[in-house]
Amino acid sequence: MKNTNDLEAILARVDALESDRAIRACINRYMDLCDHLNPSTPLDELGDLFTEDAKWEGKGARYAKSFGGYEGRDAIVGMLSKYTVEPAHFSLNVHYLSSEVIRVDGDQAFGSWNMIQVSSFSAGGSHLNSARLSVSFRRDDGVWRMAHFQTENLFSRPVSDWNDDATLPVPK
C-alpha cells in the first residue's frame, strides 16, 4: 500500500511542476502577444489563452476607469482587438514580469506578478506603467488557461521616448 501512496504523491508533484510550467508559458505568451499588438496579431491564439467564461478587469481607480472589465473570451478578444488597428496603437510595447508566485491546487491555480510596461504610441508620446497582476487559472480540456485576469496600477507616468536611433556607446 505504501508504494501506491508514494507513486501517487510523486505523480501529484510532477503534475504540479508541469502545471507551474504551463501556467508560466500561458502568461508569457499573453504578454508576448500584447507586446506585438498589430493587424497581424493572431487573435484566435490570444483568445485561446482564456477560458470561455473568463473575466478580464482593470482594478483600482486608474485601471478600472481606463480599462473597465470584460466577461467571456469573445469580449476579452474584442477589447484587445481595438489595439490591432492600422496604424498600430503601440510603436513600442514591452512587458516585464517579476516577483512571480504560482500556487497550483488540482485543476485550479493562482498566479501573481509585478509588471513593468514601457510603451511608445504611434500617435506620439511614451509611458511607464507598473501594475500588480492577479490571475486565476483553470485546467480546461487538459490546457491551462486564464480564468480571471486582474491588473491593478501601481504607478504610471509619461516619459521621454524609450527608443532612440543614436549609436550605442561601447568601449574601444
The CA angle 101-17-48, to the nearest 5 degrees, is 75
CA angle 35-143-58, nearest 5°? 45
Compute and round to an integer the Cα radius of gyration of the chain.
Answer: 19
Residue-wise pLDDT for 62-77, tens only, equals 888 888 999 999 999 9
In the structure grid, which three cell numbers stand for residue 169, read together?
556607446
Place of cell 482564456: 50
Can you list the domains of the chain with their CATH numbers? 4-159 (3.10.450.50)
pLDDT of residue 155: 94
What was the pLDDT predicted at 65? 87
The helix (run of H) or strand (run of E) holding residue 14 is helix 2-35
Q: Which three cell numbers stand for residue 122?
A: 504611434
Which residues, other chains included, contact 37 with Cβ-Cβ below 8 Å and sequence gap of 6+?
80, 83, 84, 88, 89, 90, 93
CA 91 to chain centre: 19
- pLDDT score, position 165: 75
C-alpha cell belonging to residue 86: 492600422
> In what order do the strands lie in the sheet containing 50-59?
69-71, 50-59, 143-159, 126-140, 108-121, 90-105
The single-letter code of the amino acid at 29 is: R
Can you list the positions of beta strands (E) in 34-166? 50-59, 69-71, 90-105, 108-121, 126-140, 143-159
The list of the chain residues with pLDDT below 50 reads 1
pLDDT of residue 52: 98
Q: Which residues pair with 102 in a beta bridge?
A: 111
Q: How far apart are CA 62 and CA 132, in angstroms?
A: 13
**Residue 38: per-residue pLDDT:** 93
